[in-house]
Amino acid sequence: FFKKVAIANQLAPFITYTYANLTSADGSSLWLLLILQPLYLYFDFSGYTDIAIGFAKTFGIELNPNFNRPFFSENVTNFWKRFHISLSSWFNNYVFKQTSFKHRKWGVYASAYAVFLTFVLFGIWHGAGWNFMIIGFLQALAINYEFFTKKSRLILFSKVPNYLRIWFGRIVTYLFFGTSLVFFFSPDLNSTVIYFS
């Protein structure tokens, strides 16, 4: 209840107002929006998920957690294993695994294709609009990038202290998610163009 009422509900007016007045918003408001909207979505969604989990416990029903400290993820791949776990797991089991198995003769490209299909459908699940397709496409692009550049990135970051690598990964992942949420919260593509311009 605290996450939902004391945090998410207090951030909501700023998020709603700024998106409703993008043309008059200044740069600092838009940067603040980019930083706050992941927190708003997390506290809103995980807040009412925790309420459901707690309410179920009063009836002796144990529900699985739906979030596992997602903003401590060091990359987008790991982020989607920790954010909205129930939906991510469903898409992993019934879209990604099925598609990559069906096209296994393509080798690693089967997985790449399955990731794109999974996340585009993941986006459409949230709403039938170009914005939702683009947010899904962006997640797939990031996950495929991480997959195909893993070896080179390991070599590059092997010379960097571990704590710097960890925090750099967390910050970049958070900012990427925050940037992609512009497509999630904007009412249409024109609004996203206004935001980024």
Q: How far, in Å, are 26, 123, 158 from residue 48 at the CA level?
A: 32, 21, 40
Q: Which pLDDT belongs to residue 12? A: 97
Taken in order 174, 179, 183, 186, the sign of the CA dihedral is positive
152-171 average pLDDT score: 92
Spatial distance between the Cα atoms of 130 and 26, rounded to a whole number of angstroms: 26
pLDDT tens per residue across span 37-62 = 999 999 999 999 999 999 999 999 99
pLDDT tens per residue across span 128-143 = 788 999 999 999 999 9
pLDDT tens per residue across span 80-117 = 999 999 999 999 999 999 999 999 999 989 999 999 99
163-174 average pLDDT score: 95
Q: Which pLDDT belongs to residue 129? A: 84
pLDDT > 90? residue 127: no
H/E stretch holding 175 reads: helix 162-185
pLDDT tens per residue across span 65-80 = 999 999 999 999 999 9
Instruction: Return the DSSP state at 23.
Output: G
103 is catalytic: no
Q: Which pLDDT belongs to residue 171? A: 97
Q: Which of 126, 153, 165, 170 is catalytic?
A: 126
Q: Evaluate if pTM is beyond 0.85.
A: yes
Q: Which pLDDT belongs to residue 128? A: 79
Spatial distance between the Cα atoms of 16 and 13, rounded to a whole number of angstroms: 5
